[in-house]
């Protein structure tokens, strides 16, 4: 399976509403640090797209010359009446139309979309470790408890799913409280061709939220946390399959996950 890291960026938000981190110099450093992390700690091709017409390709010339990294920028930060979520959707669309790395796969790739200023410290495990029966048509994302919001910080999905999502991007309007995360959630739930799975390994995200300024800090990775996360993920997966007729993992697989969930809860009691 061909994986491509797609890092979305806006170095100069230029007054974009609902943006807490507005200093372009600070944002530039954060993007550079993030790209460097994925260069040094993964083997995946990387596409970084900025929508504020700010070019940082000079920082990555060796990686660009070796076709490991592609840096794209365009003037797309103009639709401020819809907010930054709409801008991020435009970035994904621009990447699909202009990235030579993505085009070289003939659209047969899996896109790992990451908010560009954030570092997923365990990104390789996040991508490679998966649930039983999780196939090429899977959308891997974090949902909230009532499935109204899908976490946009890290999304692993086929190229073709993102095309479906982009067909719905005109619904995004931050001022009407219809965020990128709402439309992403709706696109997943309405899909008949793709299956939702939670992350098997909890993404360990570090960095700073552009919306709230919150700092995402690394967590202590221990057995208790892993078990609690797996219990949460399997519970979410089973609940989702009950709620959504289009997303079915099969009777046998549901039984396997149910038994596995009971086993994890038993282990949790032993470790408590």
pLDDT digit string, tens, across residues 170-199:
999 988 999 999 999 999 999 989 999 999
Radius of gyration over every alpha carbon of the chain, rounded to an integer in angstroms: 19
Tell me the average pLDDT of the chain: 93
Say what the pLDDT of residue 18 is: 65
**pLDDT at residue 44 greater than cutoff 80:** yes
CA angle 60, 61, 66 (to 5 degrees): 105
Say what the pLDDT of residue 72 is: 98
Say what the pLDDT of residue 17 is: 63
Burial class (CB in 10 A: 0-12, 13-18, 19+), 4: buried
pLDDT digit string, tens, across residues 60-113:
999 999 999 999 999 987 777 788 899 999 999 999 999 999 999 988 999 999
């Amino acid at each position: 399976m061909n994986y491509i890291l797609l890092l979305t960026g806006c170095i100069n938000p230029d007054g974009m509403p609902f943006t807490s981190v507005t200093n372009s110099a600070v944002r530039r450093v954060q993007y550079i640090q993030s790209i460097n992390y994925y260069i040094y700690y993964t083997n995946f091709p990387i596409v970084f797209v900025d929508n504020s017409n700010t070019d940082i390709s000079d920082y990555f010339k060796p990686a660009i010359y070796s076709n490991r990294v592609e840096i794209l920028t365009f003037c797309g930060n103009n639709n401020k009446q819809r907010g930054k979520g709409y801008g991020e959707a435009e970035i994904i669309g621009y990447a699909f139309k202009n990235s030579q790395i993505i085009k070289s796969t003939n659209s047969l790739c899996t896109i790992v979309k990451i908010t560009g200023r954030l570092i997923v410290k365990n990104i390789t495990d996040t991508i490679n470790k998966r649930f039983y029966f999780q196939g090429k048509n899977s959308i891997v994302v974090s949902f909230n408890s009532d499935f109204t919001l899908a976490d946009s910080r890290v999304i692993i999905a086929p190229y073709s799913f993102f095309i479906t999502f982009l067909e719905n991007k005109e619904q995004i309007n931050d001022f009407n409280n219809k965020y990128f995360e709402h439309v992403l959630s709706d696109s997943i739930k309405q899909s008949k061709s793709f299956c939702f799975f939670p992350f098997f390994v909890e993404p360990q995200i570090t960095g700073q939220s552009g919306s709230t300024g919150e700092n995402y800090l690394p967590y202590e990775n221990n057995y208790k946390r892993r078990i609690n996360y797996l219990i949460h993920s399997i519970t979410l997966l089973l609940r989702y399959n009950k709620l959504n007729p289009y997303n079915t993992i099969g009777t046998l697989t549901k039984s396997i996950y149910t038994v596995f969930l009971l086993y994890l809860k038993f282990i949790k009691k032993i470790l408590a």
